Amino acid sequence: MAFPKGFLWGGATAANQYEGAWNVDGKGASIDDHLRGGDGIHGIPRQIDAVFDPNALYPSWEATDFYHHYEEDIALFAEMGWNVFRMSINWSRIFANGDGEPLEKGLEFYDKVFDCCVEHGIAPLVTLSHYEIPYSLVERFNGWASRELIDIFFNYAKTVIDRYHDRVKYWLTFNENNLGWNDMGTMLSTSMLKGFTGTQAEIKTEAQDRVNALHYQFVAAAKTIKYVHENYPDVKMGNMDCFILSYPATCDPKDVLLNQHNMQASNWYASDVQARGKYPYYAKRLWKEWGAKPDIQPGDEEILAEGKIDFYSFSYYMSNTVTTHDDVEQTAGNMSFGGKNPYLEASDWGWQIDSIGLRFALNEIYSRYEIPLMVVENGFGALDEVVIEDGVERIHDPYRIDYLRKHVADMGKAIEEDGVDLIGYTWWGPIDVVSAGTGEMRKRYGFIYVDKHDDGTGDLHRARKDSFFYYQKVIKSNGEDLD
């Protein structure tokens, strides 16, 4: 058996892309509630509105309405055989403006959700901040550009961890924390968009703000982890990084060096701080290149050292290439762009499919930190078609099954042949949700179809896709039966 007994199998979601009910029971708007959808296939980016346009459609407002369907959805997850469910808490459902008094109604909602998970034998794995901060913090502080956010976040994290630690034993701090190092990541991961109206492509931030924002998030995460270790020894804390795997496009040593530097900037910079508790040696070179140094205040370094993660978690979807030569065609990726790889196929959105890259990534990460790993996002966004057969709705999605099969097989090899300590796998978007990058509904990842469309129509009913039954079989055989 490649996968150890007790391996965690499940799926991953995020409040802003799934929950809906954006303004009930006192909830405030989050940054995502201010975003319109784009069109990923035709390269039309998302639009951000500082002030709501009454004629616009904001996909997070309803999303796929987990808020009113959680019992039905968690029952479907249990039917697939899950023993873990990754979800996030919507910060603005607990603190409408990010700080102040917590909203009891919001807290009660997650009580019900976690109770329901536990009743079904599913362990919740909870992200504290998945690409959303209350919009009030964007307006008042310019998001994570301000040091004040450290304590505001800590207060929020402490509130929910104190409340739910009896049912939630696995927590993640910031979703795809590493992305804040470039402009593209700014929209969702650090939200430094005070007063900004425009498209994602137009966002321009200062290097100094980006370097600080990441630093404040590292300190806020470490402070939270330290608190948990001191108070709840049975609770485990992880980071969450977007592993952007890149290869040198040629064997020109210049490309190999460029790739090493690229991997340091986009991946290792963040995870070295979180796993090793200090900035890595190459940070000095990066700060020089970026033209900015983080605002490290007395006491920060001690907090970083005292708040190291217990396990490393990451998203992995695709790989790309980098080169110093100018003849490599570019393609899109997860909050990134990179060179095309002639050995790989890609999704309709240009994300290059590379399951061997996942095995490679697992080895790279494990050899660096030697702590347990979790793949907390991996998945395939595609255009699905609903057909009616014998009066029943069917969604035949062999492309998604194929992607899943290959990635599970390569994870199995990383565990069995390479010896990596991988403890869990949560497929991204196991039920259709709003796309983070493009705001589309038609970019579907789910094993469960939701009747919801880009124009806001749909009655939100759920239907099992072919991949639902495939994943059920994979889990039942603990990753052995991949036929």
In whole angstroms, what separates CA 22 from the centre of its chain? 20
Of the pair 17, 259, the CB lying nearest ligand BGP is at 17
Q: CA-CA distances (angstroms) from residue 17 to 147, 309, 417?
A: 27, 26, 37
How far apart are the C-alpha atoms of 178 and 271, rounded to whole Å? Answer: 7
Binding of ligand BGP at residue 47 (CB under 6 A)? Answer: no
- State the number of binding residues for ligand BGP (CB under 6 A): 17
Give min distance, CB of 370 to ligand BGP, in A.
Answer: 25
Catalytic-residue membership of 71: no
Give min distance, CB of 176 to ligand BGP, in A.
Answer: 5
DSSP state of 310: S
CB 382 within 8 A of CB 397: yes
Listed ranges 284-292, 324-332, 436-444, 454-462: which one lies at the site for ligand BGP (CB under 6 A): 436-444
| Given 133, 160, 273, 335, the residue binding ligand BGP (CB under 6 A) | 335
Of the pair 175, 321, the CB lying nearest ligand BGP is at 175
**Residue 108: which residues within 8 A CB-CB, separation 6 or more?**
none
Of the pair 248, 333, the CB lying nearest ligand BGP is at 333
DSSP state of 47: E
Interface map 137-156 toward ligand BGP (x if CB under 6 A): --------------------
Give min distance, CB of 76 to ligand BGP, in A.
Answer: 20
Of the pair 246, 438, the CB lying nearest ligand BGP is at 438
Of the pair 372, 437, the CB lying nearest ligand BGP is at 437
Of the pair 99, 377, the CB lying nearest ligand BGP is at 377
Q: CA-CA distances (angstroms) from residue 164 to 28, 108, 111, 160, 425?
A: 21, 11, 7, 6, 22
| Given 320, 334, 378, 467, the residue binding ligand BGP (CB under 6 A) | 334
How far apart are the C-alpha atoms of 138 and 118, rounded to whole Å? Answer: 35
**Residue 170 has which token pair?**
């696995």
Q: Which of residues 371-390 bind ligand BGP (CB under 6 A)?
A: 377, 381
Binding of ligand BGP at residue 454 (CB under 6 A)? Answer: no
Q: Which of residues 112-131 bind ligand BGP (CB under 6 A)?
A: 131
Helix (H) or strand (E) holding 211: helix 207-231
Give min distance, CB of 167 to ligand BGP, in A.
Answer: 23
Give min distance, CB of 313 to ligand BGP, in A.
Answer: 11
**Residue 124 has which token pair?**
């919740």
Give min distance, CB of 422 to ligand BGP, in A.
Answer: 19
How many CA atoms lie within 13 Å of 283's alpha carbon, on the beta-carbon side? 17
Give min distance, CB of 332 to ligand BGP, in A.
Answer: 10
Binding of ligand BGP at residue 274 (CB under 6 A)? Answer: no
Interface map 4-43 toward ligand BGP (x if CB under 6 A): ----------x--x--------------------------
Catalytic residue among 377, 389, 393, 480: 377
Of the pair 200, 323, the CB lying nearest ligand BGP is at 200
Catalytic residue among 19, 62, 132, 176: 176
Of the pair 64, 435, the CB lying nearest ligand BGP is at 435
Give min distance, CB of 180 to ligand BGP, in A.
Answer: 13
CB 226 within 8 A of CB 316: no
Binding of ligand BGP at residue 242 (CB under 6 A)? Answer: yes
**Residue 105 has which token pair?**
């109604």
- Looking at residue 153, its amino acid is F
Catalytic-residue membership of 176: yes
Of the pair 191, 435, the CB lying nearest ligand BGP is at 435
Q: Which of residues 406-435 bind ligand BGP (CB under 6 A)?
A: 428, 435
Residue keyed to tokens 């593209």: 184
How far apart are the C-alpha atoms of 281 and 7, rounded to whole Å? Answer: 35
Binding of ligand BGP at residue 315 (CB under 6 A)? Answer: yes
How far apart are the C-alpha atoms of 397 and 379, rounded to whole Å? Answer: 13
- DSSP letter string, 462-475: EEE-HHHHHHHHHH
Binding of ligand BGP at residue 175 (CB under 6 A)? Answer: yes
Give min distance, CB of 68 to ligand BGP, in A.
Answer: 21
Q: Are strands 312-315 and 373-377 parallel, antiparallel or unpaired?
A: parallel
Q: Which residue, among 447, 444, 442, 443, has the nearest Cα to 430 in the 3D structure?
A: 447
How far apart are the C-alpha atoms of 36 and 239, rounded to whole Å? Answer: 28
Binding of ligand BGP at residue 187 (CB under 6 A)? Answer: no
Binding of ligand BGP at residue 200 (CB under 6 A)? Answer: no
> Closest residue (Cβ) to ligand BGP?
437
How many CA atoms lie within 13 Å of 332's alpha carbon, on the beta-carbon side? 16
| H helix intervals, 264-393 | 269-276, 283-290, 300-306, 355-369
Distance, first Cα to last Cα, the chain: 16
Q: Which residue, among 424, 447, 372, has the nearest Cα to 10 in the 3D structure?
A: 424
CB 315 within 8 A of CB 240: yes
Binding of ligand BGP at residue 176 (CB under 6 A)? Answer: yes
Where in the sequence numbering do the catalytic residues fall? Answer: 176, 377
For ligand BGP, the binding residues (CB under 6 A) are 14, 17, 131, 175-176, 242, 315, 334-335, 377, 381, 428, 435-438, 443
